[in-house]
Amino acid sequence: MARYEQVHGSVALITLTGPPVNALSAAVRQGITDTVSRALGDPEVKSVVICGQNGVFCGGADIREFAKPTMGGPPLVPMMAAIEEGDKPVVAAIEGVALGGGLELALGCHYRIAHSKARLGLPEVTLGLLPAAGGTQRLPRLIGVAAALDLITTGRHVTAQQALKLGMVDQVAEQNTVEAAIQFAKQVEGKPLLPRKLSLQPTACPPEVDTLLEEAMAQVKRRARGAIAPVACVMAVRAAVTLPYQAGMQKEQELMSTLFRSSQARAMQYCFFAQRAVGRWKLPGGAHSVNTKPRPVTKAAVIGLGTMGRGITVALVKAGIAVVAVETNDKQLQTGKQIVCEMLKREAEKRKETPRLDLVHFTTSLAELKDSDLVIEAVFEDMPLKKQVFKELSSVCRADAFLCSNTSGLDVDELASVTRRPEMVVGMHFFAPAHVMRLLEVVCGRGSSPEAVATAMQLGKRLGKVSVAVGNCSGFVGNRMLKPYLEEANFLLEEGATPELVDAALEEFGFAMGVFRMSDLSGLDVGWRIRKEAGLTGPDVDPRDHPRRRQGRRYSPLPDLVCEQGRLGQKNGRGWYLYDKPGGRVATPDPSIHRFLEDYRLKHAISPRHIDRQEVVERCLFALINEGFRVLDDGIAAGPEDIDMIYVFGYGWPRHRGGPMFYAAMVGLPKVLERLEHYRQAHPDVPHLEPSALLRRLVDSGSPPIDTWRDFLQRPHSQL
């Protein structure tokens, strides 16, 4: 799939034609091989230009082919070698993107011209791989070891201007890139090609190259959280420094074949497609993302300028949306205004832009919302207060304005019930800090209209978020699954673990932060307040209750007792850990927490036992996964991909493990079931360890592949 034309007499123009992004599928590779060979063999052709159709050069290897048993078609390495070895100049005309194999193809060409809006990069590391069509060997020869290490180990994209500065491209075109490339090709016809063949060039090595490579290795190991691809990337670049080209290519292939077969690569490729699949939502009655048009949002409003409201305001302004920001009184308004303005200035500085302070209008009057297209309420997490706000919104806002709540778990239907427009109400659950975190849960209430869901999903996308449509239940998807995870962590402390042991096990698994460090960061009083409201702790608890059982099930009062000691987490410098200062980030284990745990065990006659890291991972994560199966079976999430993306983008689940449901499939469902049964037997008063009905059904059906789990659901999402 490549078109061949002869233009301007001597130039062969080859156009890749593989929609949507001209990925290098077997057919496209065949097309390139055939057309390049034709051009090189035609005596009338003196130069060649390679471009892609529809304004996209090439999105890289065809990721869909990776899962196939055999790839078929010509392999990439000899295809690129044939381009480079030829005796006619080949110019890559890069529009849109040149990513992965696309950039490697361009590196196999002798010259590169990019459109000013084009982006270039080697994102293979984000798919658990490395650029294995010569990318790790040619790029260091072109732009130097340090810059190549940066691009290859992070997978980040660069703009055409940055690429020009780095020496990756020879020219940036403002207008017609293909035409510019054709003119360029004509000019270089007959010029010596040897200096342009990257495989024949030495890698320029600065004197400190060894230190550079060692530091890069130390850095990726620190950041990778157990991912193997970044480490392999550094090893491959090292080969470009220490070995001749062919031997370096051999090393690149060896490293790639290990990565290619790894479960990490499968997990990350699954994430690539899952991230795109979650945008295709479906609702009861058959409405879905394809047949529902979102309404444009040009004027938004945010109610409440606390932590969440400020972040949401900044996210909206960054996307160029005008915001009316409302607070209860002048004092709160001024505080909120000052912080929002500072945040906007900082954000603009980072992007070297002027802050758009003019886009926010601060007020204490709800009457100023009469023009808003969409309102996001972000007041305290308190149902009566939120209902009051929704009632007022319902009367002051335009009849066609969408009313959204940033609740993290309250009943969206109950909020909708106090308005005169339940169909215009949806949940928009942002994650703190809202202008940074990529996840948005869009909560569909019973009455939410398809248009309201489509508008909230589209708005999330505009804000740069991964938006996932979820059903309405306590905690929605993310926080509902977090509950058993947190409870298991507390039970482990009772039984003999320390916060640092539990955290170390979870961080070794790949979480950015263990459960106790995460709780300290979020603030321990948040959960405390929720438990008080639920009657699980505080003065309303029946004193005759078993101290470690509430509402008929095992309950750990440890987090409540910690709060009662005034330890609220990072914000006041003391939580499960001790911090360098209030708000400080340096956590150290606290001997007084150890003593507190020992006293607690003595008081309750618990003899501490040795708990290993495997038990921590199984108890915490299998409990969370088990709840994930319930979430699916209850129709709260449409499919395992939705849950996995929520955890990867909102809760620090390591991408190289694909998300909780993918991880369960990798571990093997029978093993997950067996371990849950084992722990349930050991802890009969912990109902969340009871294996879910869906997990049992899947195991009984021979543990089918994850993409068929939807067929086993009791209440599919679309039938809620």
Find which of ligand COA, ligand ADP, none residue 124 binds, CB within 5 to 8 Å per kind. ligand COA
Site string for ligand COA, 300-329 (x = CB under 6 A): ------------------------------
From 95, 104, 252, 377, the catalytic residue: 104
Contact 619, 492 (CB under 8 A): yes
Q: Which residues contact 107 (CB under 8 A, 6 or more apart)?
A: 80, 134, 135, 138, 139, 142, 198
Contact 100, 124 (CB under 8 A): yes
Residue 456 parent element (H or E): helix 450-462
Site stretch for ligand COA (CB under 6 A), options 62-70, 466-474, 502-510, 575-583 = 62-70
- Integer Cα distance of 692 and 627 in angstroms: 7
Retrieve residue 449's tokens: 């209209």
Q: Which is nearer to ligand ADP, 244 or 433 (CB)?
A: 433
DSSP for residue 182? H
Which among 62, 185, 55 has a CA at the least distance from the CA of 113? Answer: 185
Q: Letter for the amino acid at 21? A: V
Which among 141, 176, 139, 175 has a CA at the least distance from the CA of 158? Answer: 139
Among 327, 503, 520, 641, interactor with ligand ADP by CB under 6 A: 327
The neighbouring-strand residues paired with 94 are: 114
Find which of ligand COA, ligand ADP, none residue 100 binds, CB within 5 to 8 Å per kind. ligand COA
Find which of ligand ADP, ligand COA, none residue 303 binds, CB within 5 to 8 Å per kind. ligand ADP
> In the complex, what is the shortest distance from the CB of residue 335 to ligand ADP, in angstroms, rounded to a whole number?
8
Among 20, 69, 192, 702, interactor with ligand COA by CB under 6 A: 20
Find which of ligand COA, ligand ADP, none residue 558 binds, CB within 5 to 8 Å per kind. none
CB neighbourhood size of 33 (10 A): 18
Find which of ligand COA, ligand ADP, none residue 244 binds, CB within 5 to 8 Å per kind. none
* Residue number closest to ligand COA, CB atom: 100
Is 63 near ligand COA (CB under 6 A)? yes
Among 18, 59, 304, 557, interactor with ligand ADP by CB under 6 A: 304
Contact 660, 268 (CB under 8 A): no
- 124 counts as catalytic: yes
Locus of tokens 């919104």: 393
> In the complex, what is the shortest distance from the CB of residue 703 to ligand COA, in angstroms, rounded to a whole number?
26
> In the complex, what is the shortest distance from the CB of residue 126 to ligand COA, in angstroms, rounded to a whole number?
7
Is 99 near ligand COA (CB under 6 A)? yes
Locus of tokens 């306590």: 474
- Integer Cα distance of 485 and 655 in angstroms: 19
Say how many Å lie between the first and final Cα of the chain, rounded: 44
> In the complex, what is the shortest distance from the CB of residue 257 to ligand COA, in angstroms, rounded to a whole number?
15
CA angle, residues 279, 284, 285, in degrees to nearest 5: 110
Task: Give the pairing type, strands 171-173 and 360-363.
Answer: unpaired
> In the complex, what is the shortest distance from the CB of residue 379 to ligand ADP, in angstroms, rounded to a whole number?
4
**Residues 237-276 close enough to bind ligand COA by CB under 6 A:** 276
Among 122, 229, 305, 477, interactor with ligand ADP by CB under 6 A: 305
Find which of ligand COA, ligand ADP, none residue 309 binds, CB within 5 to 8 Å per kind. ligand ADP
Find which of ligand ADP, ligand COA, none residue 305 binds, CB within 5 to 8 Å per kind. ligand ADP
Which among 616, 628, 488, 630 has a CA at the least distance from the CA of 558? Answer: 488
Find which of ligand ADP, ligand COA, none residue 306 binds, CB within 5 to 8 Å per kind. ligand ADP
- Integer Cα distance of 461 and 454 in angstroms: 11
The site for ligand COA, by CB under 6 A, has a size of 18
Contact 638, 281 (CB under 8 A): yes
- Return the axis-axis angle of helices 330-350 and 307-318, rounded to nearest 10°: 40
Q: Which is nearer to ligand COA, 157 or 619 (CB)?
A: 157
> In the complex, what is the shortest distance from the CB of residue 291 to ligand COA, in angstroms, rounded to a whole number?
16
Residues 246-254: contacts with CB under 8 Å, at least 24 apart: 248/136, 248/137, 249/77, 249/134, 249/137, 252/130, 252/132, 252/134, 252/136, 252/137, 253/77, 253/132
Is 379 near ligand ADP (CB under 6 A)? yes
- Integer Cα distance of 695 and 709 in angstroms: 10
- Integer Cα distance of 83 and 197 in angstroms: 10
Among 176, 246, 298, 328, interactor with ligand ADP by CB under 6 A: 328
Find which of ligand COA, ligand ADP, none residue 159 binds, CB within 5 to 8 Å per kind. none
Contact 442, 431 (CB under 8 A): no
CA angle, residues 279, 629, 719, in degrees to nearest 5: 55
Q: Which residues contact 413 (CB under 8 A, 6 or more apart)?
A: 422, 445, 446, 447, 472
Is 303 near ligand ADP (CB under 6 A)? yes
Is 669 near ligand ADP (CB under 6 A)? no
Find which of ligand ADP, ligand COA, none residue 164 binds, CB within 5 to 8 Å per kind. none
Site stretch for ligand ADP (CB under 6 A), options 78-86, 277-285, 302-310, 506-514 = 302-310
Is 568 near ligand ADP (CB under 6 A)? no
Q: Which is nearer to ligand ADP, 233 or 379 (CB)?
A: 379
From 95, 124, 495, 627, the catalytic residue: 124
CB neighbourhood size of 222 (10 A): 8
- Integer Cα distance of 686 and 492 in angstroms: 13
- Integer Cα distance of 231 and 659 in angstroms: 21
Q: Which is nearer to ligand COA, 94 or 689 (CB)?
A: 94
- 104 counts as catalytic: yes
Site stretch for ligand ADP (CB under 6 A), options 163-171, 248-256, 378-386, 409-417 = 378-386
Q: Which is nearer to ligand ADP, 171 or 363 (CB)?
A: 363
Find which of ligand COA, ligand ADP, none residue 332 binds, CB within 5 to 8 Å per kind. ligand ADP
Is 23 near ligand COA (CB under 6 A)? yes
Name the residues that contact ligand ADP, by CB under 6 A: 303-309, 326-328, 332, 378-381, 385, 389
Name the residues that contact ligand COA, by CB under 6 A: 20-21, 23, 59-64, 97, 99-101, 123-124, 127, 129, 276
Q: Which residues are catalytic?
A: 104, 124
